[in-house]
Structure 1
Amino acid sequence: MSRAAEDANRRLLRARDAMDRAYAEPLDVPTLARIALVSEAHFIRTFRATFGETPNRYLQRRRVERAMFLLRSGDRSVTDICMDVGFSSLGTFSRVFRDIVGEPPSAYRRRGPLPPVPTCFAMAWARPSSFGEAPGA
């Protein structure tokens, strides 16, 4: 791999790491493109080519992943969890959650608490796929 390609990958990883760290913050493409030191259009195009999904969808998945954990590990309201993970609208959160997980947040919560296993295993096991939407969606 050329040095230029390595630098480009490193910049994309820096932007993705920012999304992983600050998923609950209002991140937009211009901000992420600045982190990656590229134009907005180039950022979207190369992010999708590299990671298989748009930056917006990646961020939505990260937020839903965190919401999945919170829904099954506490008794806070769905609205509170929605706001805590970075969504500004309960309707949008519910629609995106259903698209990714295959059921609404309230139905997912009814599955009960997460099994008593190490958190890293539970998070990996419950993580939604990065290759598309819920089955049948």
Structure 2
Amino acid sequence: MTKVPVELLPHLRRARDVADRHYAEPLDLDALARAAGVSKYHFLRCFAAEYGETPMQYVSRRRIERAADLLRATNLTVTEVAGLVGYASLGAFTRRFTELVGTSPSAYQRSGLTARIPGCYVFMLGLKSAIPAKRSGPPAS
């Protein structure tokens, strides 16, 4: 296993932050390595050693997490959600979603019994402001 130099950790976090902020945009290894300021092969080895997954696995997981939020909270179609989180192919989105979540996106969406935000609001207000952020910690009383 690769030992990650301590001085590289802030650079890896910067690249991970870029992936978190721009998950819906086309991201590749070169762009993330540029954000970290190191060669793409060194970045790939160090990122995988530090976070336990490759940079592109991380981006894919973040996209699917966001898609799950959208499917649970909105009335958008699976195709619309796939496009919003950065997938150009519905088949690739469905395959990856099923791998990570254990059920298809449409079955996942049907299983939710919560009130949904109309898709027109999501498109009008943008993703970040329309979907409530996950809360951590104890619920407010």
TM-score category of the 2 structures, normalised to the smaller one: 0.7 to 0.9
RMSD: 1.9
Percent of aligned pairs with the same residue? 49
Aligned partner letter, 2:41: A
Q: Which residue does 1:36 correspond to in 2?
A: 36
Q: Which residue does 1:131 correspond to in 2?
A: none
Secondary structure at the residue paired with 1:87? coil
Per the alignment, do residues 20 and 114 of structure 1 end up closer, same or farther by CA in structure 2, a change over 3 Å counting?
A: farther
Deviation at 1:70, TM superposition (A): 0.4
Structure 1: stretches of 5+ with no match in the other structure: 123-137
1:21-72 alpha-carbon deviations (Å, 9 max, x no partner): 1110101000111111111111111100000000011000000000001001
Within 1, Cα distance between the matches of 2:79 and 2:113? 18
Structure 2: stretches of 5+ with no match in the other structure: 116-131, 137-141
Q: Which residue does 1:7 correspond to in 2?
A: 7
Aligned partner letter, 1:55: P
Secondary structure at the residue paired with 1:25? coil
Within 2, Cα distance between the matches of 1:110 and 1:80? 16
Aligned partner letter, 1:120: K
Count of residues paired in the alignment: 117
Per the alignment, do residues 9 and 81 of structure 1 end up closer, same or farther by CA in structure 2, a change over 3 Å counting?
A: same
Secondary structure at the residue paired with 1:34? helix
TM-score normalised according to structure 1 size: 0.80
Stretches of 4+ aligned residues off by more than 2 angstroms: 4-7
1:85-121 alpha-carbon deviations (Å, 9 max, x no partner): 0111100000000000011100100111459xx8424
Q: For 1:90-109, list aligned pairs within 5 A.
A: 90-109=90-109
